[in-house]
Structure 1
C-alpha cells in the first residue's frame, strides 16, 4: 500500500500540472483574441483608407464627367446638396450616425459659412465644366500661396520660413508653367478658376473661425452646410439663367430628354459626394494626422494618373510635369508647416496649414471639402 505522503505528492503535482496547462491555455487564447482584434482593426482601417483614397481621387473626375454629360452646373450642385443633406438626415434617423438638430438660431450663425461654401462649390463645378481636371488641381494647389499671403497681410502672422517660402515658389512656378503651356486656355475657364481660388482662400482663412465657435459635431456640420446651400441653390439657378436652358432642352428632346449616361453620371457624383463625407471623417479618426496628409497627397497623384488613363481631357506632357511640380510644392509646404508647428507650438492654433487640413478633412468633400467632411463638400 502506497504511503499517504507519496499519494499526496502525486496529487499535488497533477493539480499543479493541470493548473499550469490551464494558465497556458488562457494566455494563448488571450493572445489569439488580441491578434484577431488587431487583424480586424487593421482591415477596418485599411478599408477606410482605401475607401477614402478611391472617393477622393475619383470625385473630381466623376464631377467633371457628370457636368460634361449633364451640362447644368447649378442644378448638379443642388442635387449633390440634396443627396448629402438627405443622406445625413436618413442615416441619423436610422441610428447610424448622430448629428445636431437643425434650428433657426444656429442656421443664422452658420449662414456666412454656408454662403462661402456654396460659392466655392458653384465656382468649382463651373471650373470643371469649362476646364479639365488638371486645371482644377493646379488652382486648388495654389491655395497655400494665397493663404500665406493673407495670413501675413491681414492676420499679422509671421512671414513664412525659408523652407515654406521655397515651397510656395515651387507651387507658383509649377502653376505659371502649366498656364503658359495650357493649349486649352480659355478666358472663361480661367475666370472661374480665379473666382474659385479667391473664394476657397477666403474659406480657409476666415470661415473656419466662424464655424468653430458654433460647437456643431461633424455630421451636424454636414447637415447645416448642405441644407442651407440647398436653400440657396434656386436663387443661383435663376440668376444664371440655367433653368431656361434646361426647360428648352426638355422641350426640344421630347420623349428623349432623359439620358441614361447623364443620369448615371449625376447619381455617381451625388453618391460619391456623400461617401467622401463618411470616409473622410472616419479615416481622419482612424489614422494619424500625418498619415491622413500623406493619403491626401497620394490621392492627388492618383487623380492625375486616372485622369490621364481614362480619356483625353488632360493637359500636355509638359503641362503634366508642371502639375506634378505644383503638387510636389504642396508636399514641401506641408512638411515645412508641420516642422514649424513642432518647433513653435505657440503659433499652432493660428497656423494656416492647420486651417487648410481641417477644412480638407471635413469635405469628405476632399477635395471639397474639398466645409464638410472632405474639403469641400462633400462635393468639391
Structure 2
C-alpha cells in the first residue's frame, strides 16, 4: 500500500510539475485557452477510449446515471482549468503559484465544514501559513510581477476560489460514484464531459470568433502535443491521488509541484534563482513536510473513518 501510494504521488508530482510550464508555453504560442484545453481534454478521452477498445485498459462503460452525477463536477472542473489558463495568459507562472498556495488554507476550512474533518492542528496551521509566506517570499525575491491590471487579479481570484471548491468537491464525487475501474473510469468521464463545457466557455468569451489567432506552426503544434500528453498523465495521476489522499494533503502536494514548476521554468528560459529565492523555496518544502492532515471528526460511538 505504501509503495503504491508513493508511486501514485510521484507520477502526480512529475505530471503536475510539468503541466503548468507546458501550458504557459503552449498558451504563449496559441493564446486561446478554451481551444487549447478542448484539444487536450479530447485527446485524453480519445486515448483512454482507444486503449479500452484495444483491451489495454479496463474502463467502465458510459452510463446515463454516472453522467448525471458527474455533470456538475465536470462543469466546475472545466471552469477551474479555464481560469488557470486565463491566469497564465494575464500573469506569470510565479504569480499563479502564489495564489495557488492559498488553496490549502481554504480547502482545510471547506473540509471542516462539509467533509466532517476537524480543523488543522496548530502545527499544521503554522505549516500552511509558512507555505504561503514562503511562496510569497520567493515571488518577491526572484520574479517581476507584471499583471495586466484588475482583469488579471480577477482571473487569479476566480481561479483560487474555483480550484479550492473543486478539489473538495472531487472527494465527494469519488465517494458517491462507483466504478469497476475507478481511476481510468473517472478520467474518461472527466475529460469527455468537460469538453462541451470548455467549448461553451470559448463561445461565452468569444474565443471561437478569434480562431485566426490559433497559429498552427511546428513549434506551437509540438507544444500542444507535449501538453496534451502530460494532460493524459495528470488525468490519471490526479484522480489516483484524489482517491488515496485527503483533499488538503492532495492540494498541498499540488502546491509543492508548482514550486518544482518554477525550477523547470527557470531552466527552460535560462534564468537562475537568487540565493534568497532558493532559501524561500526551502521554507516552502520544509513547511510541506511539517503538515499533518486533520483527522475525521469522531462519531457518537467514538470511532472515525476516513482517507489517508
- Shorter-chain TM-score bucket reads 0.7 to 0.9
Matches within 5 A, 1:61-80: 61-80=21-40
Q: How does 1:154-169 map to 2 (within 5 A)?
A: 157-169=117-129
- The answer for unaligned runs of 5 or more in structure 2 is none
Q: Post-superposition shift, 1:301?
A: 5.0
> 1 or 2, which has the higher helix percentage?
1
| Cα distance, 1:295 vs structure 2 | 8.7
> Do the aligned partners of residues 161 and 279 (structure 1) sit closer, same or farther apart at CA in structure 2, a change above 3 Å counting?
closer
**Alpha-carbon offset, residue 192 of structure 1:** 2.0
Residue 123 of structure 1 corresponds to which residue in structure 2?
83
Please give the alpha-carbon distance, in whole angstroms, between the structure 2 residues aligned to 1:172 and 1:297.
9
Which stretch of structure 1 is more off in the superposition, 307-316 or 91-100?
A: 307-316
Match of residue 193 from structure 1:
156
Q: Give the one of 328, 332, 336 matched to 2:286.
A: 328
**Is 1:184 the equivalent of 2:145?**
yes
Aligned partners of 2:188, 2:168: CA distance in 1, in Å?
22
Deviation sequence 1:145-181 (CA, Å, 0-9, x none): 1112233456664332121121122123234445666
8 Å contact kept, 1:55–1:275: yes
Matches within 5 A, 1:295-334: 299-300=257-258, 302-311=260-269, 318=276, 321-333=279-291
Any gaps of 5 or more consecutive residues in structure 1? 1-41, 251-256, 355-380
Q: Is the contact between residue 297 and residue 331 of structure 1 (CA under 8 Å) also seen in structure 2?
A: no
Which structure has more RCO (C-alpha within 8 Å, separation ≥ 6)? Answer: 2
Q: C-alpha separation between the residues in 1 aligned to 2:170 and 2:8?
A: 28
SS of the residue aligned with 2:293?
helix
1:224 is matched with 189
Q: 1-side partners of 2:303 and 2:50: how far apart?
A: 42
- Evaluate the alpha carbon distance shift between residue 191 and residue 271 of structure 1 in structure 2; reply closer, same or farther with a 3 A threshold: same
Shift of 1:322: 3.9
Compute the displacement of 1:50 (Å). Answer: 7.4
* 8 Å contact from structure 1 (residues 52, 276) kept in 2: yes
The two structures have a TM-score, normalised by structure 2, of: 0.79
- Give the number of equivalent residue pairs: 295
Give the 3 Å change call, closer, same or farther, for CA 177–347 of structure 1 in structure 2. farther
Which range is displaced more, 151-160 or 206-215?
151-160
- Range that drifts further, 120-129 or 168-177: 168-177
Equivalent position SS for 1:184:
coil
Report whether the alignment pairs 1:234 with 2:199: yes
- Give the alignment of 1:75-154 within 5 angstroms: 75-153=35-113
**1:234-282, CA deviations, whole angstroms, 9 ceiling, x for partnerless residues?**
21111111122223x47xxxxxx53111111111111111133456678
Q: CA deviation at 1:305?
A: 2.0
- Distance (whole Å) between structure 2 residues aligned to residue 284 and residue 233 of structure 1: 22
Post-superposition shift, 1:93? 0.3
Deviation at 1:60, TM superposition (A): 1.6
Q: 2:256 touches 2:285 (CA, 8 Å); kept in 1?
A: no
- 1:59: how far off? 1.9
| Cα shift readout 1:72-128 (whole Å, capped 9, x = no counterpart) | 111011001100111110000000101111122211111111111111111112222
Separation (CA, whole Å) in 1 of partners of 2:156 and 2:20: 14
DSSP-derived class of the 2:154 partner: helix
1:202-247 CA-partner distances (Å, limit 9, x unpaired): 1222342134211122111011111111122221111111122223
Paired residues of 1:164 and 1:337 also in contact (CA < 8 A)? yes
Could you say what secondary structure the match of 2:24 adopts?
helix
**Higher Cα Rg: structure 1 or 2?**
1
Name 2:20's counterpart in structure 1.
60
User: In structure 1, which of residues 203, 209, 226 is the aligned counterpart of residue 172 of structure 2?
Assistant: 209
User: For residues 72 and 271 of structure 2, what CA distance do their matches in structure 1 show?
Assistant: 35
